[in-house]
């Protein structure tokens, strides 16, 4: 395997590690919600469900932010590459 191809694939995998770990934490929390709704009484389920909902929200915000930043990076890369193809001297055009 080519060293540059290995480094490129490793960098791509590292970029999504944070998002994958947040997704896994949300999945574990969802399983916990199911378990405690079956085990605990009605009063406890209300407050545990509320706290689990807040925890899901707290995990979802950085997860969605990581996703948006990755998407923005791809869109920016596509725009720069498209601009390079349209210029005659090979430099990226500056957008106004």
User: Is the per-residue pLDDT at 96 higher than 50?
Assistant: no
Query: If residue 11 lies in a helix (H) or strand (E), which one and from where to where?
Result: helix 3-15
pTM greater than 0.75 (yes/no): no
- DSSP designation for 16: T
Cβ atoms 90, 56 nearer than 8 A: no
Domain boundaries of the chain, sorted by first residue = 18-86
- What local confidence, expressed as pLDDT, does residue 5 receive? 54
User: Within the chain, what is the greatest distance between any pair of CA atoms?
Assistant: 71
Q: Tell me: the pLDDT tens digits for 3-49? A: 555 555 555 566 678 888 888 999 999 999 899 999 998 899 999 98
Q: Tell me: the pLDDT tens digits for 59-78? A: 889 888 877 776 656 565 66
Cβ atoms 45, 37 nearer than 8 A: yes
């Amino acid at each position: 395997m080519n060293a540059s191809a290995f480094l490129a694939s490793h960098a791509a995998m590292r970029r999504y590690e944070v998002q994958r770990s947040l997704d896994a934490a949300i999945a574990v929390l969802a399983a916990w919600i199911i378990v405690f709704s079956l085990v605990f009484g009605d009063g406890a389920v209300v407050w545990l469900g509320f706290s689990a909902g807040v925890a899901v929200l707290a995990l979802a915000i950085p997860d969605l932010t990581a996703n948006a930043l990755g998407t923005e990076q791809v869109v920016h890369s596509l725009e720069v590459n498209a601009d390079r193809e349209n210029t005659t001297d090979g430099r990226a055009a500056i957008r106004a």
